[in-house]
Amino acid sequence: MKVIEHLERARNPLISYEIIPPKRGGSAEQMLNVVDALMPFDPPFIDVTSHSAEVSYKQMPDGTWKRCVKRKRPGTLGLCAAIEGRFGVDTVPHILCNGFTREETEDALIELNYLGIDNVLAIRGDEKGFQKNIDPDRSRNKYAIDLVKQVDAMNQGTYLEDLMDAAPTDFCVGVGGYPEKHFEAPNLSWDIMRLKQKVEAGAHYVVTQMFFDNAHYLSFVEQCREVGIDVPIIPGIKIITRKRHLTSLPRHFHTEIPTELAAEIEAADPEHVKDIGVEWALKQSEELLRAGVPCLHFYIMSSADTVRRVVEPLREMA
């Protein structure tokens, strides 16, 4: 089932989750056990992140350095298929611009279509220090809007080549939104207009980057509605579990951590940080549910232990 169908049919707000594939050489069972732990909470859909190749350098015995390029976390499509097959839960694989050609993207979308996976999240992806060489007979999507257009074209039966009797796909397309603006955008209004263009290009819903101050999300939604963005906007929630999140989350995700929360975590013993993060996420989620959000989307990545402590009391509200 499509994400928008889940939202339209829901009698109460939904709670969804986002996980990460295991590292290369890891076992899929690790992440399937995470999904199993979520099953008592009836997840409507689960996002699975995707990762392009990264560049690293390895020092050789002779003192020189070797440039290495590899994907540390392959397996997004396979993990999605395993989740749907084992648990019957809809999945949302992330599809990237960075690190993939349009031809590779088309192949991946064909695979997903054959597997009966109805949803994708179209994002540009992070820069990993690796610029893929593109053969003259291949092309690439530069921005998320280009990727949305490619998926929408396939939904209309238009592929990269002019194919006879090409069967249209039927993907539900999600895109990312940034309540505190994308770090490359000159201002929030400019960023929201770029989001509107993605919706006009064929996106069906928006899921936001994590935020820790609900005022950012509520203001963002209001501004989106003012410019005519009328698709569902799902808030993304992250539970802080470690002190290092105070620096790593702003650095990697360009999100602001409120002074009150940062001060409490900084003063706490390390073993109490999870309790603070759970309490903050619960308070944040309760406020969002009272504000009428259609869904809460938790970025849990590779463990369900902490999110269960938030979701269990929320079930009485959702």
> Average pLDDT, stretch 145-169?
95
Read off the pLDDT of residues 1-12 as tens digits, 9 standing for 90 and up.
Answer: 999 999 999 999
| Full-model pTM | 0.92
Name the pLDDT band for 238 (thresholds 50, 70, 90): very high
Q: Does residue 245 sit within a domain?
A: no
What pLDDT is attached to residue 317?
Answer: 66
Tell me which amino acid residue 201 is. A
Q: Of the candidates 305, 257, 296, which has an alpha carbon nearest to the alpha carbon of residue 278?
A: 305
Contacts of 291 (CB under 8 A, 6+ apart): 214, 218
Q: Does residue 54 sit within a domain?
A: yes
Name the pLDDT band for 174 (thresholds 50, 70, 90): very high
Least confident range from 50-54, 126-130, 150-154: namely: 126-130
* Chain center to CA of 203: 14
Q: Where are the alpha helices (DSSP H) in 157-299?
A: 188-200, 214-226, 245-253, 259-267, 273-290
CATH of the domain at 296: 3.20.20.220
> Domain range holding 20?
3-239+284-314
DSSP labels, 4-58: HHHHHH-SS-EEEEEE-PPPTT--HHHHHHHHHHHGGG--SEEEE-----EEEEE
Contacts of 244 (CB under 8 A, 6+ apart): none
DSSP labels, 76-95: HHHHHHHHHHHH--EEEEEE
Q: Does residue 252 sit within a domain?
A: no
Query: Number of structural domains, the chain?
Result: 1
Q: Does residue 271 sit within a domain?
A: no
Which DSSP state fits 190? H
* 3-class DSSP assignment, residue 306: helix
Q: Is the pLDDT of residue 130 over 60?
A: no
Say what the alpha-carbon torsion angle 247, 249, 251, 257 is, to the nearest 10 degrees: -70
Rounded to 5°, the CA angle 54-56-59 comes to 165
Q: Which helix (H) or strand (E) holds 112?
A: helix 102-115
Q: What is the spatial distance between Cα 193 and Cα 190, in angstroms, rounded to a whole number?
A: 5
Angle at which helices 76-87 and 102-115 pack, to 10 degrees?
10
Read off the pLDDT of residues 255-292 as tens digits, 9 standing for 90 and up.
Answer: 999 999 999 999 999 999 999 999 999 999 999 999 99
Q: Does residue 244 sit within a domain?
A: no
85 strand-pairing partners? none
Read off the pLDDT of residues 60-101 as tens digits, 9 standing for 90 and up.
Answer: 676 666 556 667 888 999 999 999 999 999 999 999 998 899
> Average pLDDT, stretch 117-141?
78
Q: What is the spatial distance between Cα 132 and Cα 125, in angstroms, rounded to a whole number?
A: 13
Q: Which residues of 225-251 are buried (b: 16+ CB within 10 A; e: fewer)?
A: eeeebebbbbbbbbbbbeeebbeebee
Contacts of 280 (CB under 8 A, 6+ apart): 212, 239, 240, 261
12 strand-pairing partners? none
Q: Does residue 274 sit within a domain?
A: no
Q: Does residue 99 sit within a domain?
A: yes
Q: Does residue 120 sit within a domain?
A: yes
Q: What is the spatial distance between Cα 36 and Cα 304, in angstroms, rounded to a whole number?
A: 9
| Radius of gyration of the chain, Cα coordinates, nearest whole angstrom | 20
